[in-house]
Structure 1
Amino acid sequence: MKNIKFFLVAFIAASSLFFYSCESDDNNQDLTAEIDAPTDVDIIFSITQDNSGLVTISPSGKSVSRFEVFYGDGSSESAILALGENAQRNYSEGTFPVRVVATSLNGQTAEVVKNLTVSFREPENLEVTINRSASSNFGVSVTATADFETSFEVTFGEDPDADPITFLEGEVVNYDYSSTGSYDITVTALSGGAATTEVTEVVIIEDPVVLPLDFESSTLDYGLIPFEANGSIVDNPDISAGNRSNKVVSLEKVGGQTFGGIVVPLSGPIDFSGAQSFRMKTWSPMPIGTVVTFKLENADGTISSPDYTATTTVQNEWESLFFDTTGLDTTQPFSRFVVFFDLGNAPTGDVNYFDDIELAASPAVVLPLNFEDDRRQFDIGTNNGAFSIVSNPFPTTANNSSRVGQFDRPSTGPNNFALVAIVVDQAPTFDANTTFTLKVYSPRAGLPVWLKVERVGNNSLFQEVTNVTTTVANAWETLTFENFSGNTTEDLRNVVIFFDPLGATSAAETIYIDELTQTN
């Protein structure tokens, strides 16, 4: 057992003289005042595996100048240790509350008490729990319990030369495999003596291709099968607000056939217990109105669905297309997709792209935000007013949309914060030049209209513009929102539009909105 109390007393005394001298030179400034109290104080026990009961006690912590170890075995003895030192003690079988008091240079203390169990009996009732990681297909976690154990060791079966990892009951050991395969996880319960108990369980690490499907993984084998086409996973040619993925699928029809496409396999049948239609992001240089065809097949292609189609609405931009599969026989074991661009027409040399295939009940709610597609399912909230989607009551050249949003603002007095909030599926980007436009039909000129884009579930994270007003009454006009201010630019999907939020109202008003567009 190492006892260095005398050395520490001498060191502290010398240090005190030094600090006193410094205080004289620095106007009596206390140089220890800023030293933190000890934190993260812990104890590690290492029990010799020879039934001798010899235990090495290793304290640790932050902002520590010394430790004092109290053995917890009924004696009054203790050991003074410097940072990095340890103490040794022979124990009989039993459980001992070992206490460590950590002291900082300025005398602040913190302590921890940890039970040391010394047992030389072979551990019994060893139970091992292996859980899969929620964030990685390659991760596992291991915990264990047993009777008469002092600690555990675990190996994960990937590297035969790796040292076992030691842990205690109640602790969790996390491990990430580097590749798929079958591995033996072995947990050994240690008794404090020579006796041990061991359990081995087999874990199979898989990296399945499942929905929602993107193409970002560097470990997945996506198994794409192009036919009469060149198709592969490539760098995203247009990382933008429409699609921030790094990797996407490219598809170019070649040869003399008109049906070139690509098969996208999944690892198993699709689960249709929820939504039964699909969304897919596409990017095409071909003319607006190009038909994108999407169908489902079983694993060997002997069972197939009807063809489902959607048409592009932009050119050289990412957009989300919706494939309405109403009537699909969802009892079939569909486990792969087939994607075509411009099916039935000869190859043009154009390279098209797609990404992010997912089950969905309706088309995506994205910018530019309009109300033309009656299949969209909006997540809408209001305050001091009511919102509905109606036929455009005043179609003009300024706004000839067939459907618009209607906000009915009641007479509620001052500071009513009348608003409508609409959640979009894809967060817009923000920088110093970000600009939005919104078409508004107001019953009066001078109506303040605020635009705030905030984090869903946390309206304290936002970007906003609060200085825009209407300039005409009873006519459509386009308002511009620029010079946004706020405290974050990440993951803002709740679009909130305020109507004269601080103004008093003496009479009810109806205001119409349409086509919220990010122009920059």
Structure 2
Amino acid sequence: MKNIKFLFVALLVASLALWSCESDDDTDLSLALEAPKDVGLVFNITQDNSGLVTISPSGEDVTSFEVFYADGTDESIVLALGENAQRSYAEGTYPVRVVATNLGGKTTEFTRDLVVSFRAPENLLITVSESATSNYGVSVSASADFETSFEVAFGEDPALAAVPFMEGDVVNYDYTGVGTFTIRVTALSGGAAVTEVTEVVIIADPVTLPLNFESSTLNYNMIPFEAAVSIITNPDTSVGNLSSKVVSIEKTGALTYGGVVVPLSGPIDFSGPQSLRIKTWSPMPIGTKVTVKMESSNGAISTADYDAFTTKVGEWETLFFDTTGVDTTQPFSRFVVFFDLGGAPTNDVNYFDDIELADGPPILLPLDFEDTNRIYNIGTNNGAYSIISNPVPDLVNSSNTVMQFVRPATGPNNYSLVAIVVDQPVAFNATTSFTLKVYSPRVGLPVWLKIERIGNGGLFQEVTSVTTTVANGWEELTFNSFTGSTTADLRNIVIFFDPLGTTASPETIYIDDLIKTN
């Protein structure tokens, strides 16, 4: 029995040996590994004038480090990843060298001077700069004479240990929120003597577009001239502007150019839209001029004045400022806003809000397709649309531009429709109604009107009982008897043409002037 067991073990050893020999022919994947990278050294000198130094190597793709002490001996120590070494040094400068080795035997060397000095560091200079990647971040570096290393505390959390670093290193830190913080940098010597410098930093939200004036921590630093300006609670929270905060402006004095400068934290990014939209509220007559221009941070570079004119009295509306031709290579970083520029002060208080870049005016009710600047978000099903010159103007509809919808020949249970997204939610109550001008090729064409939530068509208001009574002529259809629920954010307007009906040949239908009448 013992002999049998021995034979089994011998066969197993032979089998393993054979597998090992065969595996020698396989490709050694470790040979493809890149040499270690980001190799570095951090020194921590005990603050008791003993000269005891803890040497901590670091790097990526490393299996071991060999640290050469460079203290007049040839001695070194091999460390695994995460280990450190300790050595006592006399005062002086030592070019400590580390050789990092990876699994494939490739090496990378790095040398850093260890300065052991028992006098207090001198000429400590620190640099604190804004982070390039975070609105709440800072980067810290330092230099000094007779220092061995540094520590930095960022002043946000007293329980957080100071971060050690070496001259030439940059330490990055992200604050968790806005506030005023004291950064303390300590230069360490080889003994107990240290030198400290502090710098106060203020972390604030950046003022960027779109600008809505809602932040409770942000200092908008607006600069009024010949005007009284403040950020106040929105006096008219309506469908036109649901914001909590808006800017109030009143021209004062006897001059005609009262306005306000609205600075940003940096130059405007024109990589996308280049024109402007601003929400305004004015008690002044319809046609009151609102003027905007853009300037560099010191006002030395300026655009032309861009004008828009109010269309409402005592209501919020969104005005569009066409800045076609503006030189987008200039560092424009602030706006100047005027109401009734050139007119004498009238003691009227105006408001504005939500400054943003945009390609065109907002898409709002009523929909009349007359403004060529508007860029519509339109979808269709079982049909094709186009915005064209009115091909059949008459007394009912003499407007210049209408929407054409070509409905193809369809079988039963097909939905032919056009959907238009508007920028402002449509509000409903028990008496809400709409009118729509329609040109139909036949009497009895069913037209449905549905307003639904984008992304959730199950939330909607709809009327399905309206049909045309005129063939080959314009007529105005009325849609009422909505449920009047308070369903919010209904912005997708869908118009159906004979849904579920069958036609043997295509039909061309025109629509215009969708108006919410109450």
TM bin, normalised by shorter chain, reads 0.5 to 0.7
Q: Secondary structure at the match of 2:402?
A: strand
SS of residue matched to 1:251: strand
Aligned partner of 1:421 in structure 2 is: 419
Which digits, 9 at most, give the CA deviation of each residue in 1:427-452, with x for residues without a partner? 22344444333222223333221122
Of the three residues 509, 514, 517, the one matched with 2:515 is 517
Q: CA deviation at 1:183?
A: 6.8
Aligned residue identity for 1:475 = W
Match of 1:336 among 316, 327, 334: 334
Equivalent in the alignment of 1:391: 389
User: For the pair shown, which has the larger CA radius of gyration, 1 or 2?
Assistant: 2
| 1:481 aligned residue | 480
Aligned to 2:268: 270
Match of 1:126 in 2: none
Deviation at 1:377, TM superposition (A): 1.0
Write the distance in 1 (CA, Å) between the matches of 2:203 and 2:325: 36
Matched letter for residue 179 of structure 2 = S
- Mapped to 2, the partners of 1:397 and 1:226 lie a distance apart of 50
Amino acid at match of 1:236: N
Letter in 1 for 2:478: L
Alpha-carbon offset, residue 162 of structure 1 = 9.3
Tell me if the contact between 1:451 and 1:481 (Cα under 8 Å) persists in the aligned partners.
Answer: no
How many equivalent residue pairs? 358
1:133-161 deviation line (CA, Å, top 9, x unaligned): x9x96799xxxxxxxxxxxxxx9843537
1:280-429 matches, within 5 Å, as: 280-429=278-427
Deviation at 1:389, TM superposition (A): 0.9
Partners of 1:440 and 1:479 within 8 A in 2: no
Which of residues 486, 495, 498 is equivalent to 2:496?
498
Residue of structure 1 equivalent to 2:219: 221
Q: Percent identity?
A: 66
d(CA) in 1 for partners of 2:136, 2:431: 41
Please give the alpha-carbon distance, in whole angstroms, between the structure 1 residues aligned to 2:435 and 2:332: 43
Q: CA deviation at 1:375?
A: 1.1
Show the counterpart of 1:179.
179
- The CA distance in 1 between the partners of 2:445 and 2:396, in whole Å, is 19
**Counterpart residue identity of residue 289, structure 1:** G
Q: Pick closer, same or farther for the CA change 1:351–1:503 going to 2, 3 Å.
A: same
Q: Which residue of 1 aligns with 2:254?
A: 256
User: In structure 2, do the counterparts of structure 1 residues 355 and 121 end up closer, same or farther at CA, with 3 Å as the change threshold?
Assistant: same
Give distance in 2, aligned partners of 1:203 and 1:339: 31
The structure-2 alpha-carbon separation of the partners of 1:314 and 1:401, relative to structure 1 and needing over 3 Å to count, comes to: farther
Structure 1 residue 392: Cα displacement = 2.2
Among candidates 437, 449, 452, match of residue 451 of structure 1: 449
* Conserved 8 A contact 1:180-1:207: no
User: Per-residue displacement from partner, 1:183-231 (whole Å, max 9, x unpaired)?
Assistant: 79xxxxxxxxxxxxxxxxx997430110011111111111111111112
Question: Is the alpha carbon distance of 1:450 and 1:345 closer, same or farther for their aligned partners in structure 2, counting shifts above 3 Å?
Answer: same
SS in 1 for 2:179: coil
**For the Cα contact (< 8 Å) 1:308–1:325, is it kept in 2?**
yes
Q: Give ranges in structure 1 of 5+ residues lacking alignment.
A: 1-119, 124-131, 141-154, 164-173, 185-201
Relative distance call for 1:429 and 1:327 in structure 2 (3 A) is: same
Residues 158 and 177 of structure 1 are in contact (CA less than 8 Å); yes or no, is this contact kept in structure 2? no
Match for 1:284: what amino acid? S
Task: Give SS of 1:493's match.
Answer: strand
Counterparts of 1:180 and 1:401, CA distance in 2: 59
Structure-2 separation of matches of 1:454 and 1:137: 38
Shift of residue 475, structure 1, vs aligned partner: 2.4
SS at match of 2:237: coil
Q: Is the 8 A contact 2:435 2:514 kept in 1?
A: yes
> What one-letter code is carried by the residue in structure 2 that aligns with 1:483?
F
Which residue does the alignment assign to 2:239? Answer: 241
Q: Which residue of 2 aligns with 1:109?
A: none
Note closer, same or farther for the CA distance 1:336–1:506 as it changes in structure 2 (3 Å cut).
same
Query: Structure 1 284/399 Cα, relative in aligned 2: closer, same or farther at 3 Å?
Result: farther
Q: Give, in angstroms, the shift of residue 496 of structure 1.
A: 1.2
8 A contact 1:139–1:177 mirrored in 2: no
The amino acid that maps onto 1:237 is P
Q: Is the 8 A contact 1:424 1:493 kept in 2?
A: yes
Task: Supply the distance in 2 between the matched residues of 1:180 and 1:431 (Cα, whole angstroms).
Answer: 49
Task: Normalising by structure 1, report the TM-score.
Answer: 0.61
| Alignment match, 2:277 | 279
Deviations 1:361-399 (A, max 9, x none): 111112222211001111111111111111223434433
- Tell me if structure 1 keeps the 8 A contact 2:155–2:181: no
Residue among 436, 439, 442 paired with 1:441? 439
The one-letter code of the counterpart of 1:285 is: P
In 1, the alpha carbon distance for the partners of 2:430 and 2:178 equals: 41
> 1:337–1:509: structure 2 CA closer, same or farther, 3 Å change rule?
same
1:383-429 deviation per Cα after TM superposition (whole angstroms, max 9, x unaligned): 11111111223434433322111111122122221100112222223
Aligned mates of 2:418, 2:328 — CA distance in 1:
37
Measure the CA separation in 1 of the matches of 2:137 and 2:458: 34
Matched residues in 2 for 1:408 and 1:267: separation?
A: 50
Residues 247 and 137 of structure 1, relative CA distance in 2, 3 Å threshold: farther
8 Å CA contact 1:212–1:359 kept in 2: the answer is yes
Deviation at 1:314, TM superposition (A): 1.9
CA 1:137–1:218: 2 relative to 1, 3 Å: farther
Contact 1:182 1:205 in 2 (8 A): no
Deviation of residue 509 (structure 1)?
A: 2.0
Counterpart of 1:437, as a letter, is T
User: CA, structure 1 residues 256+397, in 2 after alignment: closer, same or farther (shift >3 Å)?
Assistant: farther
Name 1:147's counterpart in structure 2. Answer: none
Unpaired stretches in structure 2, ≥5 consecutive residues = 1-81, 86-130, 139-152, 162-173, 185-199
Contact 1:465/1:484 (8 A) holds in 2: no
1:218–1:385 distance in 2 versus 1, CA, 3 Å: same
| Aligned-residue RMSD, C-alpha | 3.7
Q: 1: CA distance between counterparts of 2:322 and 2:435?
A: 30
